[in-house]
């Protein structure tokens, strides 16, 4: 595999040439997401992401999706708090046509009034669905509390903001921020650097002269608790959150190993102890979300109201054990081996490689060679994991719960401190 990274006339270009595959994955990422939107325009990045698929200056909705799907590939997009990403995965023979379509929706969306109204209707349904889903409520409430209303607002937006956004709003926002300077292009698979540079070069003069978005550097606002009462549910949904280091920190690799030990797979500590040994939950796990200079470790579970106090006691006991005693050697080996194995398996999928490289560029400013990542994981010691556990797990945690409407929580259950 040949990895290349360059500033290509203002935009960031990453290519990973893989000679052992017949497919190509391509990403076009704009470094503007929900976290940089004005609160009054909440949801505009996601609205744009939806609407560009409705048609461009030269292609209809059908002409965008049909050629890629006919080839056996797929085309999709997503919006995060920091980025809006458009991507496709296709056989290598269809590289040029797929790239042309990807650039077309990225640079030349039509934003017709009919398309905007159709997507508005769809997004409002998506929001309604999210407002019915306990886990969406749980994590949206947690994000707003922890990160504040600016960075932590819902990616989908609010019904009232989505209803008021106009065609001109979408067009102006797109013209303002979809520029070379905010664009990252990532290509992984059966395509050479020379071919990719030639294709991308055709579009360099098509970009608008945009401007940098508002600062996306998140900060912790509140580490307390939020409670949402909901009708027609029988379980309590809970998420715990602790601030940790970001991706640029020397602690990031040890934190990733610890998160794997804690909540990845059926052999993880949370699954094997809280579910398998104690029988307190059906769903439980952990997640590590890292931005450039800050991150967050989350633990989430759902259980019956009767079992909720016991669940919280068991979680507190597990974390106290980890802080006081550290992880065991066999736990460390599980975390390292699982992380390395998953990375090695992901190399076979060009899209997984592309997403990994994009994340590196967004948070570290440069892509990493896979061998370097594996070597760093292999080098992690018990002492390193013990140090990050002791440093980051102690102190105040945020807690978000969604509970049945008539259930009463004890105040002590809403305070989480190690």
Tell me the pLDDT tens digit for each residue of 256-269. Answer: 999 999 999 999 99
| Distance of alpha carbon 404 from alpha carbon 132, whole angstroms | 13
Record the tokens describing residue 331, joined without a space: 């736990």
What pTM, to 2 d.p., does this model score? 0.94
Same domain, 243 and 293: yes
Same domain, 180 and 284: no
Tell me whether residue 220 is in a domain.
Answer: no
Digit-coded pLDDT (tens) for 318-346: 999 999 999 999 999 999 999 999 999 99
Same domain, 193 and 231: no
**Mean pLDDT for the stretch of residues 218-244:** 95
Residue given tokens 């992901």 in the structure block:
346
| Number of domains the chain contains | 2
Digit-coded pLDDT (tens) for 81-123: 999 999 999 999 999 999 999 999 999 999 999 999 999 999 9
**Mean pLDDT for the stretch of residues 130-135:** 96
Helix (H, G, I), strand (E, B) or coil at 3: strand
Digit-coded pLDDT (tens) for 385-416: 999 999 999 999 999 999 999 888 877 777 77
> pLDDT confidence of 310, banded at 50, 70, 90?
very high
Tell me whether residue 335 is in a domain.
Answer: yes
Same domain, 295 and 262: yes
> pLDDT confidence of 213, banded at 50, 70, 90?
low
Same domain, 292 and 401: yes
Strands 183-189 and 11-17 come out as: parallel
Task: Compute the residue count for the chain.
Answer: 418
**Short-list 300, 310, 315, CA closest to 238:** 300
Strands 398-404 and 225-230 come out as: parallel
Tell me whether residue 130 is in a domain.
Answer: yes
Q: What's the angle, vertex CA 74, arms to CA 70 and CA 76, rounded to 5? A: 140
Residue given tokens 């970009």 in the structure block:
207
Tell me whether residue 216 is in a domain.
Answer: no
> pLDDT confidence of 215, banded at 50, 70, 90?
low
Same domain, 407 and 316: yes
371 CB burial (10 A radius; 0-12, 13-18, 19+): exposed
Same domain, 239 and 183: no
Tell me whether residue 391 is in a domain.
Answer: yes
Tell me whether residue 270 is in a domain.
Answer: yes
Same domain, 62 and 118: yes
Same domain, 233 and 173: no
Q: In terms of residue numbers, what domain contains 304?
A: 225-414
Record the tokens describing residue 213, joined without a space: 């978005």
Record the tokens describing residue 187, joined without a space: 């290509």
The last residue of one of the domains, among 154, 179, 206, is 206
Same domain, 114 and 77: yes
Same domain, 375 and 240: yes
Q: 347: domain CATH number?
A: 3.30.830.10
pLDDT at 186 over 70: yes
Same domain, 180 and 277: no
Tell me whether residue 212 is in a domain.
Answer: no
| Distance of alpha carbon 224 from alpha carbon 169, whole angstroms | 36
170, 48 in Cβ contact below 8 A? yes
């Amino acid at each position: 595999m040949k990895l290349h990274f360059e500033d290509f006339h203002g935009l960031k270009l990453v290519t990973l040439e893989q000679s052992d595959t017949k497919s190509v994955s391509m990403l076009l990422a704009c470094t503007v997401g929900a976290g940089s939107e004005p609160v009054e325009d909440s949801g505009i990045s996601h609205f744009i992401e939806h609407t560009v698929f409705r048609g461009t200056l030269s292609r209809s909705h059908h002409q965008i999706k049909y050629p890629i799907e006919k080839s056996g590939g797929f085309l999709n997009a997503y919006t995060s708090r920091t980025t809006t990403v458009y991507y496709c995965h296709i056989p290598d023979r269809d590289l040029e046509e797929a790239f042309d379509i990807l650039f077309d929706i990225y640079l030349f969306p039509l934003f017709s009034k009919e398309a905007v109204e159709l997507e508005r209707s769809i997004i409002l349904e998506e929001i309604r669905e999210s407002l019915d889903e306990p886990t969406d409520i749980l994590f949206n409430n947690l994000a707003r509390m922890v990160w504040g209303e600016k960075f932590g607002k819902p990616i989908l937006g609010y019904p009232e903001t989505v209803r008021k956004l106009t065609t001109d709003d979408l067009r102006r926002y797109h013209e303002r921020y979809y520029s070379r300077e905010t664009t990252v292009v990532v290509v992984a698979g059966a395509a050479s650097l020379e071919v990719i540079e030639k294709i991308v070069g055709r579009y360099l003069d098509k970009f608008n002269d945009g401007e940098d978005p508002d600062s996306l550097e998140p900060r912790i606002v509140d580490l307390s608790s939020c409670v949402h009462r909901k009708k027609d549910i029988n379980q309590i949904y809970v998420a715990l959150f602790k601030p940790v280091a970001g991706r640029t920190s020397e602690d990031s690799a040890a934190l990733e190993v610890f998160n794997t030990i804690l909540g990845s797979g059926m052999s993880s500590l949370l699954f094997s102890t809280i579910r398998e040994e104690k029988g307190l939950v059906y769903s439980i796990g952990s997640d590590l979300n890292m931005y450039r200079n800050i991150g967050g470790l989350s633990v989430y579970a759902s259980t019956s109201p009767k079992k909720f106090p016991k669940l919280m006691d068991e979680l507190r006991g597990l974390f106290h054990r980890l802080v006081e005693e550290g992880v065991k050697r066999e736990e460390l080996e599980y975390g390292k081996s699982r992380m390395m194995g998953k990375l090695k398996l992901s190399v076979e999928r060009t899209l997984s490689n592309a997403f990994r490289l994009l994340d590196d560029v967004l948070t570290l400013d440069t892509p990493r060679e896979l061998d370097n990542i594996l070597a760093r994981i292999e080098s992690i010691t018990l002492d390193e994991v013990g140090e990050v556990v002791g440093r980051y797990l102690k102190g105040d945690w945020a807690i978000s719960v969604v509970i049945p409407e008539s259930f009463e929580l004890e105040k002590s259950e809403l305070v989480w401190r190690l």
